Structure 1
Amino acid sequence: MLVFHVLALLLSLLWPTCTSSEADCQHLQDLDSAVVHKDGQVILAAMFPIHSKGVEQELNFMSTPDKRKCRGLNLRALRWSQAMIFFIDEINRNPLLLPNITLGYRIYDTCWTVALSARTALSVVSQPLKRNSTGACSSPGIPLVIGDSGSSLSIAVSRLLNLFKVPLISYFASCACLSDKKQHPYFFRTIPSDTYQASAMARLVKHFDWTWVGTFGADDAYGRTGIDMFTAEVTHLGACVAFRVIIPKVPTQQQIQDIVKMIRDSSARVLVTFATEEDMEPVLEEVVRQNVTGRLWVASEAWVTSTLISNKYPFLSGTMGFAIRRAEIPGLKDFLHSLQPFTEPYNPSAREFWETEFQCSFNTSVPVGSMADQVQYNRTCTGKERIQDTETIYNDVSQLRVTYNLHKAVYAAAHALHNLVMCQKQESSTEKQLCPDIYSLQPWQVIKYLKEVNFTNMFGDTVNFDKYGDPAGSYDIVNWQKGPGGRPMQFATVGRFDSSLPAKQQLILYQDDIMWPGGSKELPVSVCSASCQPGYRKAPRKGEPICCYDCVPCAEGSISNGIGAKLCCDPPELIFWCCRKVHNQPECTLCPEDLWSNPQRDSCVDKQIEFLSYTEGFGMALAATSILGVAATVTVAVIFIRHRDTPLVRANNSELSFLLLISLSLCFLCALTFLGQPSRWACPLRRTAFGLTFALCLSCLLSKTLVVLMAFRATLPGNNAARWFRPPQQRFGVFLCSAIQCAVCVAWLTTSPPYPVKNTWLYRDRIILECHLGSVALFCCVLGYIGCMAAFCFILAFLARKLPDNFNEAKFITFSMLIFCAVWIAYIPAYVSSPGKFTVAVEIFAILASSFGVLLCIFAPKCYIIIFMPEKNTKKYLMSQKGGR
């Protein structure tokens, strides 16, 4: 139908007829007689949905289309149309704004339909032709249009007016698509773009941790674009959309039932809507019928201040939403009360309002205008009924929000025209042509001045347009609260949003003032999955949104305690800077290197420090063994001291024997240094003590072996080698061998000594305190030197094991070195494979085993003879054995 309207009107526009008579200039008639109009030097056109529904008409191209017919008087839009007249009268009375210029107006009823809005746009650009002062036919200029109320309507109107370069200033079309200057180059508006509202709604939802929300949108550009932008924003912030519903413009009962069933079955308790009150009403009626409660509605600016819905559906208490800024306009209420059904200029909707409101009929032939079906009431209207005695949406000025936007639009147009009038003409004729003539104004000449509009109105707000023709995003956050004593629903302002402020201060919320559904002060919860308890993390479910998840325990070494980064604020009303908890961690947080998770996985505690201690059982056993070794060595020394004059002790080089016993005692004591917590002094002590004591021990054994060999060679004729292995030379040999090891240890301690370290890589749940070797090369030198001495001693003792002599020590040294080497060779794989503190235990065990091996192999046979076989510890027995040989 819209295409038929456009084609018919464009054809008439392209071939207008104009003859010499003025009557012939009336060829193009106004398509809509039910227009409120008043002449002026400059005429502004305005579009309002004074009726909410249009009546379909048949177009056959064989007869002139009938005048439009509509039904469903919209009292809110009627108030807007009257406010338009009030504002223009104000401007005409203002001597400082448009001096000597009178504004006129033509107010059209678009009936909330796209087809009739497009028809209105064509009516604006095809005004009745009249003969001007030069004798030519022309149309009175309408430099701009104010309207339309809805986004879909404004899109259709804007596209038509673009063809004629007529600017359009909307007071209620918020669709972000209208900011596209390629498609709508001459579109301006005083209501913020839904880009701001969608972003603010998403941030509001995120602030309250509503991660599972349903969305509703009207089946038009406003609804679809709005929920698409909201979905993108809220998804970016980590929340999810449970469902997306498009409300048909003319829904069937089954469609409405299906929508409400989706609401009832969904776990989403927060419902975000981008729709008008006309779109929402059938849904809300079905919600009441099916008794669906416990939902929080987040309304867009199109119905968040709808008195019609708030009074009709009290169960919607707690509803929140973003409302455009309001103002109290002085004198407007009295002007609304002055409406009369038959005053000039004649307003056909005034009669309809009068008859509908006062339930009476006028006995007059004056047409009722665009009303589809005139209802006849039994009572006759007197015309003296008082509007101020009624309480309707028409005269309710408590929430002047759209009306305030209309005020901005009218005054923006007036300021643009004022700047055009004040254009300073320069001397050159070329520059004179830059200033349009207000009395023969063309629409395209106003666009430049509209873009430059920038003024502060009587309410202190700055009115201007950005490069997209949009104002700054400014909203009040409104909360529906039940009035005391059964009074009507109240719209409480609980916050605000202002895109002109710094990002951190744009959204402000007074949370203590909010009343939630059912009159509760407890914040409602709307989630797909309940928040995970401390110690658990979110595990997404396959094929489902990220907001639907299972809670699984954190792994060892990681925690989740429900406390994320804290955002602090001053003042505390700034919701994005308030100190608050961030719940539901998607991942568990790893504990620092020196901490570990507790069994509940909700906090990090100090890791268990592990080292081989004296107090634990294994450490006590090793310490006791070490002390036992010292005691055994001392016992042997006591036995040797008491029998130092016996042949057996004297024959086995008592001086080296006592020195060996001292070194063995030190070896046993050296094992104790490996017990306890490693420290800066303990680590160097245990390593150097080990190297020096075993070097001393092996030096003594090596000297003993050489003495045995030299003693045998000294019995041969002419051999005087024994003189090189007398006690002074033996002591020097022991000192020299020990001094070499001592020099290596000194170099080790001065260059890169051992030091304590915390081993955190071996076990994740505990820290092993151990001694780092420092210089590995010097440690290898210490071990290598001990190994070389042991091997050399073993070889010499093995060669002398069968020398004919009584109590030959060579075979005992051979056995001792065999045990020594076997222990330390086995120590290497055991040390590498032992974890943690057991590496220290293996080392202590090797020290004790090798020390006991030397002690028992060399001294046990001698002590046995000294104590239990004293008859063999005589010079006679020794000599007899030699003689037998």
Structure 2
Amino acid sequence: MQWSLCVYVCVCVPVAFLCTLISSQLLQQQPCRLIHPSSLPVVADEGNITLGALFSLHDAVLESQWTFSTQPEPAQCTGFNFRTFRWMQTMIFAIEKINRDTRLLPNIKLGYKIYDSCSSPLHALRTAVELMGGREEGSSGTECQGKVPVVIGDGGSTLSMVVAHFLGVFQVPQVSYFSSCACLSNKKAFSSFLRTMPSDFFQVDALAQLVQHFGWTWVGTVAGDDAYGRGGAQIFNDKVTKLGACIAFYEIIPKNHAPAEMSRIVKRISGSGARVVLVFALEQDVKALFSEALKHNLTGIQWLASEAWITAAVISTPEFHSILQGSMGFAIRRADIPELRPFLLRLNPTAYSDDPFVLQFWEEMFKCSLHNRSSGAICNGSENLASVQSIYSDVSQLRISYIVYKAVYAIAYALNDMVKCVPERGPFPGGACPDTRSIKPWQLLYYLKKVDFINEFGEQTKFDENGDPGAMYDLINWQLSEFGEVQYATVGTFDETKTTKLVIEAKKIVWNGYQRQVPVSVCSSSCPLGTRKAIRPSFPVCCFDCILCAAGEISNQTNAIECVTCPPEFWSNLKRDACIPKLVEFLSYEDTMGMVLLAVALLGSCATLATALIFACKRHTPLVRANNSELSFLILSSLWLCFLCALAFIGQPTAWSCQLRHTAFGIAFCLCLSCILGKTLVVLMAFKATLPGSNAMRWFRPPQLRALIFLCTAVQIGICGAWLGLAPPVPRRLMTRESARIILMCDMGSTLAFSLVLGYIGLLAAICFLLAFFARKLPDNFNEAKFITFSMLIFCAVWITFVPAYVSSPGKYTVAVEVFAILASSYGLLLCIFAPKCYIILLRPDKNTRKNMMAK
């Protein structure tokens, strides 16, 4: 169990409970009286109204052993604190200033009674009991009443919690100047507690906004083992977590500062990877932590400080400069209190011989003894206090001293309001006013809650429903002067009453390591544009990997949780941070493939025209005349159309090109095959007609052949006409989310019509092949049927392989396959049927004779 909590539960609560029982018994049985004289050192001054106060003038207390058989020895406090002693003197200064003020509490002198709580919860409770004990002079002896109507203090939150539980029993108002734990805002538990020190809730809110402002997402937290440290650190952890940051570690500084535990904490800080660490603890605990950090040479950490130590002189010594330079934290607004420094320097052990704390202060300040001792320097009180530079006389950073000053004035203004109360218009039942000659604590508590004034520094002082003041902080940055001294530079402010609470002057900040650039403290670096965060299993949410968005997805902001899919007509760029229009793909004249196919088609059409020209020039030769020149020219014309219709497949698809390309090539090939079919029948029938009694040739004269060609072609024309009339091919944009391209293609409109066109061409080709195959061995010097057989074989092979290639080819390659099939079959027909004839006509004219044609 924690030491402070153990003391509080085991000692403080039972004592408070016993005090309540005793007070009730005393009220019923006998008047209040002191059992024995007090042994606690006290500083007091008589007045009409006495203010009680508790200050932790020492850092620790040495408790004697309790035997429960003899009276225990008085507790001995050690570690005199000059800073707290200045706070106490500031309270006395404020009281004396009020007593001299003729407008505030006229004809009323304020007195005081100040005890040392020695930074111990148990000792703080002793002093609180001492403040509440005894019997007022002049009372009847039947009314139990405390000596003071109000208590200022204590310093630490844990100490104030103990005292507040006790004083709450008697409804005695307690105004703390240094207790900032948010838990003390709970009015159910601490009904009579108020403070001029802002709640840690606001300080932590400011620290959390500071973390968010600089983009730190991986922050460590170290807290003191008390209500102040644990409460503040826990609120901070909760707030920064809600803001999206993560806590790298959370460590507690033990009160006994065990070396092994302190070493473990420093190693944890070093190995965490966090560059920013908040230390929410009192200055004693902070000093122990940084002393251990020096042993481990822990550098490169940007320390965030709580208000308790950001301006503590005990930490800003040269030994800590190497690790604490650049530290940052929020501190209470400072003020310059006129005439305070001369008042602090007035002390002298001779003039204040009855003040036990002044004697200790003098000996600690000058490292001497006011009494004759066998060892050590001897001092007589003539030493010059102004000649010693110390935190006690340093009034350049009056922050908590100013809070003490405001606490005294808040009580004075509450008392002033009580004095000015008009009978029958008072706030109590029947319009009653309080009796200022015998002030009841609960009456003063009422006026304290209502106090509202603006002091000489222009700052408003009032309490909210929780007894808390408005929170205003200065953002302090530790900077070293050219002389190596710490300067508390104000680099920003925080005011919770304003719309923009946090204001930072970033250019004034000097970070740890004398850097001007904001330190980076993250578990994982921010994911850039084009990536998304992928959480690592078993790690905090701030630890993640950056995954590149998939193709077709983008992220246009850092640390994106998910990638956004681009619209259908857009695709992601290479960086995956913007959607760009998809590339439109079609077989273009500008493509290498389109240019090659165009060249091949033009070459074929030119070759066809050249062949026709050769045949026209040699039309009177036996070879041309023997092969039915009319059909030859008709075949060449249809082949020329076949080569030209391939051009309709190249270029951006339009409504007319889509309708033209399929119908044109279907009719052109049908015309070509019809002519070849007629030629094949003529060759076959020519040999059959030589048989005796055969008159078959009369059915294959030119008129009949023309009719056959027309009928065969008319069937294809009819199919194409029905196709164009019912479901014509139309341009279509094929867009898929998995592709970076928009395929511009011709939708067939009717797959059945397209199949009929190809099927009919295939039927004609098959008939031609069969007839030519049967006539391939007929005797002839120039057997045209043999060449027709080869041409049909090539034609059928091309179109049979076309079907699977057409189905499996993506995008523009589908069209390219179709164009290749048209050109390949056209070249096959041209070369197989006409190349041998051109060879004889041009290169072997000796065979182009009637004798050679007629020879067997």
Shift of 1:874: 8.8
What residue is the counterpart of 2:128 in the other structure?
121
Change in 2 beyond 3 A, CA 1:813/1:169 = farther
Q: Residue 96 of structure 2 corresponds to which residue in structure 1?
A: 89
Amino acid at match of 1:330: P
Matches within 5 A, 1:97-108: 97-98=104-105, 102-108=109-115
AA of the residue aligned to 1:753:
V
Match status 1:381 vs 2:381: yes
2:467 aligns to what SS in structure 1? coil
Cα pair 2:246 2:541 within 8 Å, conserved? yes
SS of the residue corresponding to residue 316 of structure 2 reads helix
State the SS of the aligned residue for 1:272.
strand
Q: Is 1:512 matched with 2:491?
A: no
1:597 counterpart residue number: 574
Query: 1:685 maps to what in 2?
Result: 657
Query: Structure 1 pair 657/327, CA: closer, same or farther in 2 (3 Å)?
Result: farther
Counterpart mapping for 1:150-165 below 5 A: 150-165=156-171
Q: Secondary structure at the match of 1:307?
A: coil
Provide Cα deviations, 1:305-338, integer angstroms capped at 9, x if missing partner: 0122213534333222222221112232232233
- Shift in Å at residue 448 of structure 1? 4.6
CA distance in 2, matches of 1:321, 1:139: 44
Structure-to-structure mapping, 1:67-78, within 5 angstroms = 67-78=74-85
What is the one-letter code of the residue matched to 1:741?
A: C
Equivalent residue for 2:643, pick from 654, 668, 677: 668
Q: How does 1:224-623 map to 2 (within 5 A)?
A: 224-237=230-243, 239-260=245-266, 262=268, 267-289=273-295, 291-313=297-319, 314-315=321-322, 316-341=324-349, 347-358=355-366, 378-382=378-382, 385-419=383-417, 431-433=429-431, 436-486=434-484, 488-502=485-499, 505-521=500-516, 523-524=518-519, 554=548, 593-597=570-574, 619=594, 621-623=596-598
Instruction: Answer yes or no: is the 8 Å Cα contact 1:46–1:107 preserved in 2.
Output: yes
Counterpart of 1:633 in structure 2 is: 608
State the secondary structure of the residue aligned to 1:597: coil
> Which of residues 51, 54, 61 in structure 1 aligns to 2:58?
51
CA contact (8 A) 1:18 1:137 kept: no
Give the 3 Å change call, closer, same or farther, for CA 462–285 of structure 1 in structure 2: same
Worse-superposed segment, 856-865 or 507-516: 856-865
- Matching of residues 689-700 of structure 1 within 5 Å: 689-699=661-671
Deviation, 1:847, is: 1.9
Q: Does 1:741 align with 2:720?
A: yes
Residue identity matched to 1:156: V
Counterpart selection for 1:16 from 22, 26, 50: 26
> Which position in structure 2 is the counterpart of 1:572?
none
Quick one: distance in 2 between partners of 1:33 and 1:357? 22
Greater displacement, 416-425 / 272-281: 416-425
Residues of 1 paired with 2:87 and 2:495: CA distance?
A: 25
Structure 2: distance between partners of 1:285 and 1:347: 35
Secondary structure of residue in 2 paired with 1:303: coil
Q: Is the 8 A contact 2:667 2:713 kept in 1?
A: no
- Structure 1, 306-315 or 798-807: larger mean CA deviation: 798-807
Deviations 1:275-329 (A, max 9, x none): 1121122333344455544444322111110122213534333222222221112
CA contact (8 A) 2:658 2:731 kept: no
Separation in 1, partners of 2:29, 2:733: 112
1:82 aligned partner, one-letter code: Q
Identity %: 42
**1:741 and 1:651 mapped to 2: Cα distance?**
35
In 2 relative to 1, CA 198–863 (structure 1 residues): closer, same or farther, beyond 3 Å? same
Distance 1:660 1:451 in 2: 114
From 758, 770, 783, the counterpart of 2:743: 770
- 1:229 offset after TM fit, Å? 3.2
Q: 1:721 to 1:737 in 2, by over 3 A?
A: same
**AA at the equivalent of 2:664:** L
Q: Which residue in the other structure is 1:574 paired with?
A: none
Structure 2 unaligned segments of length 5 or more: list them: 1-6
Q: Give 5+ residue unaligned stretches, structure 1.
A: 365-372, 566-581
CA change 1:609–1:421 in 2 (3 A) is farther
- For residue 470 of structure 1, what is the amino acid of its counterpart? D
* Equivalent residues of 2:788, 2:832 under 8 A apart: yes
Q: Residue in 2 aligned with 1:787?
A: 758
Which amino acid is the alignment partner of residue 323 of structure 1?
A
Residue 777 of structure 1 aligns with an amino acid whose one-letter code is G
Amino acid at match of 1:833: S
Q: Report the CA distance shift for 1:374/1:697 in structure 2 as closer, same or farther (over 3 A).
A: farther
Contact 2:585 2:744 in 1 (8 A): no
Normalising by structure 1, report the TM-score: 0.78
C-alpha distance in 1 between matches for 2:788 and 2:433: 123
Letter paired with 1:409 = A
- Note if contact 2:719-2:753 (Cα within 8 Å) is conserved in structure 1: no
Deviations 1:382-425 (A, max 9, x none): 5xx55334322122111111122223333333444445555666
Distance in 1, matches of 2:456 and 2:402, equals 11
**CA deviations over 1:627-678 (Å, ceiling 9, x no partner):** 3322332233223323445687678776665454334323323434545xx5
* Structure 2 counterpart SS, 1:777: coil
Question: Amino acid of the residue matched to residue 474 of structure 1?
Answer: M
Query: Aligned to 1:326, what secondary structure does the other structure show?
Result: coil
8 Å contact kept, 1:129–1:137 = no
1:575 maps to none
Distance in 2 separating the partners of 1:136 and 1:214: 58
Equivalent position to 1:753, from 726, 730, 733: 730
Cα distance change on mapping 1:283 and 1:792 into 2, 3 Å:
closer
Question: In the alignment, is the contact (CA less than 8 A) between 1:269 and 1:296 conserved in 2?
Answer: yes
Residue in structure 2 matched with residue 578 of structure 1 by the alignment: none
**Counterpart of 2:821 in structure 1: which amino acid?**
A
Shift of 1:78: 1.2
Equivalent residues of 2:716, 2:757 under 8 A apart = no
* Match among 201, 211, 222 for residue 207 of structure 2: 201
Q: Distance in 2 between matches of 1:854 and 1:424?
A: 126
8 Å contact kept, 1:55–1:71:
yes
Picking from 184, 195, 206, the partner of 1:189 is 195
Bigger mean CA offset, 166-175 vs 720-729: 720-729
Could you state the TM-score of these two structures normalised by the residue count of structure 2? 0.81
1:846 to 813, 817, 821: 821
Are positions 1:180 and 2:186 aligned together? yes
* Letter aligned with residue 410 of structure 1: V
- Secondary structure of residue in 2 paired with 1:251: coil
Superposed CA RMSD: 5.0
Taking the TM superposition and a 5 Å limit, the aligned residue runs for 1:702-741 are: 702=674, 705=677, 734=713, 737-738=716-717, 741=720
